[in-house]
Structure 1
Amino acid sequence: MIDFDNASFVKLNAWDGAQAHAELAEILVPGEQVYLAFKGIRDSVTFTDKRIVALNVQGMTGKKKDYTSLPYARIQAFSVETAGGLDRDTELELWFSGLGRVKLEFGSGVDIRGLGRLLADKTL
């Protein structure tokens, strides 16, 4: 499992939803749709209509993969931080019941407000 307490993902950038769906096809339930997807160097975070899936690719070959499913129903609070003048990166913090805080950092150009709207729609 990803150590959400001590590490955050490398800055995530937009990733093609079709590619994310193909990468996660084996774990998605029938009919589950990918809304938004973001990828770092090897790891990714995908927002579907049912949950958030964090994919942690491990090892030298990348054959070992950890899929962490984060249900929207377990989100107690979230915070979005927009980019500033010199700091072009954005952040999303989520607080999950039973897990604690998850922090995701995004590269410039990610619509963090749109991501906040998606989370509001799924959690409020």
Structure 2
Amino acid sequence: MGLFNAILGNAGEMSLDDATEELATILGEGEQIELAYKLIRDMIILTDRRLILIDKQGLTGRKVEYRSLPYKSITMYTVETTGHFDLDAELKLWISGQHDPIALEFNGSTNVYALQGLLAAKIAGK
């Protein structure tokens, strides 16, 4: 299922240790990764301070775009869970200053409730 989900563009959970090791150079001092998802080369990282969207570009993936979104800039979000025929979950984020939401898709094995819970705590307060 992993390759099938990757082809469809669905992210799956990744180890926090692997994510921390890979992102050591861009994390702030004392910043901790709380959730991490990977789609072939791209990653979605939720830290204790921000959401990071990582887009590895080109054939080699040497060129990388890091989009850092402070939680306070997220004005609204929706989470859509999997269904019988729709096997992927979806997260849409509305960012202040942007008209269209950022849409992210996750495979069916991703715990979207943990994702939603963390976002609720970070955006609406603990």
**TM-score over 0.5 for the pair:** yes
- Structure 1: how far apart are the matches of 2:54 and 2:93? 17
Deviation at 1:96, TM superposition (A): 0.5
Amino acid at match of 2:81: T
What residue is the counterpart of 2:3 in the other structure? none
The match for 1:53 is 52
Q: Normalized against structure 1, the TM-score is what?
A: 0.89
Q: Which amino acid aligns with 2:115?
A: L
SS in 2 for 1:21: helix
1:37 aligns with 2:36: yes
SS in 2 for 1:25: coil
Distance (whole Å) between structure 1 residues aligned to residue 98 and residue 64 of structure 2? 20
In the alignment, structure 1 segments of 5+ residues that lack a partner are: 1-8
Q: CA offsets per residue over residues 41-86 of structure 1, 9 Å max, x none?
A: 1111011000111111011211111111011010100100011112
Matched, 1:114 2:117: no
SS at structure 1 position matched to 2:68: strand
Q: 2:87 corresponds to which letter in structure 1? A: R
Deviating above 2 A after TM superposition, structure 1's stretches of 4 or more consecutive aligned residues are none
Of the two structures, which has the highest relative contact order with CA contacts closer than 8 Å and spacing of 6 or more? 1
Unpaired runs of 5+ in structure 2? 1-7
CA distance in 2, matches of 1:114, 1:34: 14
Residues of 2 paired with 1:51 and 1:99: CA distance? 17
Aligned to 1:6: none
Q: Aligned residues: percent identity?
A: 42
Q: Which amino acid aligns with 1:38?
A: Y
Corresponding residue of 1:88:
87
CA RMSD of aligned residues (A): 1.3
- Quick check: which one's helix share is greater? 2
Q: Say how many residue pairs are matched.
A: 116
Calculate the TM-score normalised by the size of structure 2: 0.88
